[in-house]
Structure 1
Amino acid sequence: MGGTNDVRQEQPQQATSLPTPAFNEETIEEQQLTGPQLNVAEREDVPPDGGYGWVVTACVFMINAHTWGVNAAWGVFLAHFLSESTFRGATHLQYALIGGLSISQSLLISPLVAMSNEKLGTRVSLLFGTVLVSVSMLTSSFATEIWHLFLSQGACFGYGMGFLYITASAVLPQWFSKRRSLAVGLASSGAGIGGLAYNLGAGAGLADLGWRWTYIVLAISTLVVNLTSAILLKDRNKLVQPQKRSFDIRELGHVSTLLIVCWGWLTELGYITLLYSLPNYAQSIGLTAKQGSIVGAVLNLGLAIGRPPIGYCSDRFGRINVAMFMTALCGVFCLAIWVPAKSYAVLLVFALFAGTVTGTFWATVVPVTAEIVGMQRLPLAFGMVVLPLVLPTTFAEGIALELVSTSGYLTAQVFVGCMYFAGAACIWGLRSWKMRELDEDKQREREGRFPIPAGSPRRHDHIWLTPRGLLSPKKV
């Protein structure tokens, strides 16, 4: 009995002798990272990096070809409508706004697309976009006033392209990890192949069938191909479990997200101008309408040729590194080749070279954004990134035509080149931000602490621009 009492009396003393844990900011941070996320590596979904993912890649390729590719043919329609004065009283600015409107509306409805994907599912969203794109082409064939094209070729087509492109772009990265940029590059090259085919096809159709029947042919081809792609494309949402929020303005409060937005904002001013202005520029230097359509087709051929290698190089040398270099290279091509291009041959060389890098933003933005925010936040973050691009995509061609009408094409050419250089500077800053993130993760690893999940707030967010981040040759 006495021994038992001694033991019982010692127990409270042992309890009081235990050290009291010190709760500070570092301890709380560790608990937040090691509590529910203790087995992050085990719970994180591992993409197949192939398999049915290549079927998905082919589907996204065809969707890009029959949305962005069809939209690229607007440059041929634009040159035809301007030369023939098809719609009485229509101004150059009104024609220019239609092409920009189609892209801007596809970006404007990104929150609606995200909501549709959440409530109705991926396939329903794709089918809805398919119907809208085909209806827009069909109704354009009946247009008698310029405002009819604003509604059909501009708004309706843009809404359909948004449901197709944004939905498909968020699904494809779910199937790949190490080959993600290659898959996205292959899929995005569909915009170039489609643009090549539809520039040549639209040019031939306008000459042989007239613009109304050309629109009807486009309506049929987009319906068949997009419908097939929508049926075959599958997502992996059950495994990836992406965030279900369709809109969150706080995404634009992150320095990294804002840098991606600025990169897209500036380069879109140049990209839209190049996409729509080259056929018209060709005619301004004395070339024929057919030669102008061929120049536009060669630009799209460059898109098709350039995007897969860009994707491969991104996986090998760093997704941010390659995006920065290719964006700056497009600025060099504009100032070094386009400015002195006064002949058909030189213009074809420029169209091919510039085409390989002019759409670098769209070829790399999804993998770059995934690197910054992680796969679970990607759909929400991508939607918030493209939403601010409504303004430049709407008014880029209008700005270019106004510059041409007041100061000639030289001013527009210099403007496009400078926009690409400014965009490259933004992603150079993003590279510095990512370098600080990698250094912080490496420091935590040396200290035996868990890494911070991608996209989480970090202490260096307010100190992201450093000489090491800008100048280090590291793969990022």
Structure 2
Amino acid sequence: MSTIGTPGEHEMVVRGGPSRAPSSLVADSTPTPTSTTARDDIGDTSPSPAISDSNLRACVICGASFLVVFTACGTLFSFGVYQELYESMAGDPGSPFVGASPASIDLIGTLSAAFMTIAAPLATAWTKRFSPRAIIVLGGLLFLLGSLLASFSQSLWQFQLTQGFIMGLGTCFSYLPPVTVSPTWYGRRRGLAMGIILSGTGVGGLVWAPAIQAINARVGYRNGLRISGALAAAIIMPSGLAIDWDVTSKSRIREENARLASRRGSASSSVSVWRRLWDIPLIDWHVARTRKFTAQILGGTLQAAAYYTPVFFFSAYARTLGYSPAAGANFIAINNACNAIGKIVIGLLADRWGRLNALFVTTLISALASFAFWLPSTLVPSVMSGRGLFITYSIVYGMFASAYVSLFPASLVETFGPQHFASVNGVFYMARGLATLVGTPSAGALIRSSAQVTMPEGYWRTTVLVGSLLAGASAGVWWVRIEKMRS
């Protein structure tokens, strides 16, 4: 392994001088006076704008990245539809899920969500070593392969391997290149741009959840997996062909790769090719030993451990309140609609108020909402009151918890600098994936048994865990803010 410098020590500017109006997404060099007590990004180490790529290209990157995220993550955020369906089949002696507990079924979605980020160091290294386009196309092919193999699976472990692990890798190689490449294209509007791109998770869930539920109801879940997998690959791969590094980063990456090849000797041998695949850049030890690194990884892992649990169990929990499967899918859609709106609006506000400030406030609100709305909905005797509380929670959680996902990469650029972004990005996403692999199954295991999933009371322990983890994540973000102000 080797330590490799990171591209992206730049921001976006308008080519052709002042005669062209800057896009609302690309960097604006006009200074905006702010108070050092109100903003957390004062002292941002991002260099001044210096890229010659056009505004149109930046908008194309934004649109193509949105489509990739819309598809890869939108289908992941719709897993609650499958969670509810597979749980309903647990009592069918002829189904692959006979006797399965909610936690073991949830492991399918958890593996997919976890490996979406566990393989992040590999995905980000390959994005630099080869190209974002090649890695996104690989992701689309893996997504299609996982869907097809899942459609022929005959037992739970096979679904965990195909719909979980393989589709998780497909999501990783589709999702990580856009979130690695995109932040370096934008300057002062980075929060808005990443909000638009990552709103694809919410818009995708809004579209894919009811669509998958309708397809499954009409042609069965096996054909549904085949159809959704083919559609996803047909969107991911062409969109990925439009995503690439900016000119400055591409030139720097070529120089880095040339230096690596010269140190290894002949890059044409099969050994060198194999080494190129697994030669992952190491994070700078001086960065890893700082308190702000510790604070960032603490907050990120705690948030990830909680984040997917409500999304995966929304549909199943809605059934305990008397809703139909279609209505349960609609809860996922409502949550994802709020997810998309929240990422864009909060991203825009974060550019003005500070990204770490916004990250702290939104994470704290999502924690409080879990205690104030979801927990009481599991304990109140009135079903109608429980429904009202749960609807409120779906909206509030979707609006505020999702903002962490869009603000997280933008905050990394500012906290650690563009020169360390790619390496810390991979490490933090890997840590988040490992946390998801532990947190979400643990939350599912707290639902006492598959026989008691039909009662709202079976979920109260899970709601307490989710709220507590998000409260800890809020404390982690506040710690990052303090350390950044000190430095």
Q: TM-score range by the shorter chain?
A: 0.7 to 0.9
After the TM superposition, which of the residue ranges 215-224 and 311-320 deviates more from structure 2? 215-224
Q: Deviations over 1:420-443 (max 9, x none)?
A: 111111110111111112xxxxxx
CA contact (8 A) 2:146 2:162 kept: yes
Residue from 61, 65, 69 that aligns with 2:70: 65
Q: Deviations over 1:205-229 (max 9, x none)?
A: 2221110111111112111110121
Could you say which residue in structure 2 is the equivalent of 1:474? Answer: none
Residue from 473, 476, 479 that aligns with 1:426: 476
- In structure 2, the CA distance between the partners of 1:79 and 1:271, relative to structure 1 (3 Å rule), is same
How far apart, in 2, do the equivalents of 1:70 and 1:379 lie?
Answer: 26
Percentage identity across paired residues of the two chains? 23
Q: Deviations over 1:150-172 (max 9, x none)?
A: 12111111111111111110110
How far apart, in 1, do the equivalents of 2:111 and 2:418 lie?
Answer: 30
Q: Deviations over 1:2-59 (max 9, x none)?
A: xxxxxxxxxxxxxxxxxxxxxxxxxxxxxxxxxxxxxx99997447694311111111
1:353-432 aligned within 5 A: 353-405=396-448, 408-432=458-482
CA contact (8 A) 1:97 1:395 kept: no
Partner AA of 2:330 in structure 1: I
CA contact (8 A) 1:176 1:183 kept: yes
Q: Deviations over 1:195-244 (max 9, x none)?
A: 11111111112221110111111112111110121111121164473687
Q: Deviations over 1:403-462 (max 9, x none)?
A: 12178312211221121111111110111111112xxxxxxxxxxxxxxxxxxxxxxxxx
How far apart, in 1, do the equivalents of 2:54 and 2:290 lie?
Answer: 29
- In structure 2, the CA distance between the partners of 1:327 and 1:339, relative to structure 1 (3 Å rule), is same
Q: Aligned pair 1:76/2:77, yes or no?
A: no
SS in 1 for 2:362: helix
Report the count of equivalent residues. 398
1:172-321 aligned within 5 A: 172-236=182-246, 238-239=248-249, 241=252, 246-248=281-283, 250=285, 251-321=287-357
Gap runs ≥5 in structure 2:
1-44, 258-279, 378-382, 450-456
How far apart, in 2, do the equivalents of 1:224 and 1:41 lie?
Answer: 36
Could you say which residue in structure 2 is the equivalent of 1:120? Answer: 130
How far apart, in 1, do the equivalents of 2:428 and 2:53 lie?
Answer: 27
- In structure 2, the CA distance between the partners of 1:47 and 1:238, relative to structure 1 (3 Å rule), is closer
How far apart, in 2, do the equivalents of 1:389 and 1:239 lie?
Answer: 26
How far apart, in 2, do the equivalents of 1:290 and 1:188 lie?
Answer: 26
Q: CA RMSD in A?
A: 2.2
- In structure 2, the CA distance between the partners of 1:432 and 1:79, relative to structure 1 (3 Å rule), is same
How far apart, in 2, do the equivalents of 1:116 and 1:239 lie?
Answer: 15
TM-score normalised by structure 2 residue count: 0.77
- In structure 2, the CA distance between the partners of 1:41 and 1:352, relative to structure 1 (3 Å rule), is closer
- In structure 2, the CA distance between the partners of 1:41 and 1:231, relative to structure 1 (3 Å rule), is closer
How far apart, in 2, do the equivalents of 1:47 and 1:264 lie?
Answer: 34
How far apart, in 1, do the equivalents of 2:424 and 2:405 lie?
Answer: 15
How far apart, in 1, do the equivalents of 2:475 and 2:441 lie?
Answer: 25
CA contact (8 A) 2:68 2:174 kept: yes
Shift, 1:347, TM fit: 2.2
Q: Aligned pair 1:164/2:174, yes or no?
A: yes
Shift, 1:63, TM fit: 1.0
Shift, 1:326, TM fit: 0.4
Could you say which residue in structure 2 is the equivalent of 1:26? Answer: none
SS in 2 for 1:52: helix
**Larger RCO (CA under 8 A, 6+ residues apart):** 2
Shift, 1:89, TM fit: 4.2
SS in 1 for 2:167: helix
TM-score normalised by structure 1 residue count: 0.79
Gap runs ≥5 in structure 1:
1-39, 438-476
Shift, 1:397, TM fit: 2.6
Which segments of structure 1 move beyond 6 Å, counting only runs of 4 or more? 40-44
Higher-Rg member (1/2): 1
After the TM superposition, which of the residue ranges 317-326 and 346-355 deviates more from structure 2? 346-355
How far apart, in 2, do the equivalents of 1:247 and 1:211 lie?
Answer: 42
Partner AA of 1:247 in structure 2: L
How far apart, in 2, do the equivalents of 1:186 and 1:311 lie?
Answer: 8
CA contact (8 A) 2:199 2:341 kept: yes
Shift, 1:372, TM fit: 1.0
Residue from 137, 150, 158 that aligns with 2:160: 150
CA contact (8 A) 2:314 2:328 kept: yes
CA contact (8 A) 1:49 1:179 kept: no
Shift, 1:387, TM fit: 1.4
Could you say which residue in structure 1 is the equivalent of 2:485? Answer: 435
- In structure 2, the CA distance between the partners of 1:179 and 1:47, relative to structure 1 (3 Å rule), is farther
How far apart, in 1, do the equivalents of 2:435 and 2:123 lie?
Answer: 20
How far apart, in 2, do the equivalents of 1:306 and 1:43 lie?
Answer: 29
How far apart, in 2, do the equivalents of 1:289 and 1:49 lie?
Answer: 47
CA contact (8 A) 2:296 2:476 kept: yes
Could you say which residue in structure 2 is the equivalent of 1:444? Answer: none
CA contact (8 A) 1:257 1:385 kept: no
Shift, 1:185, TM fit: 0.3
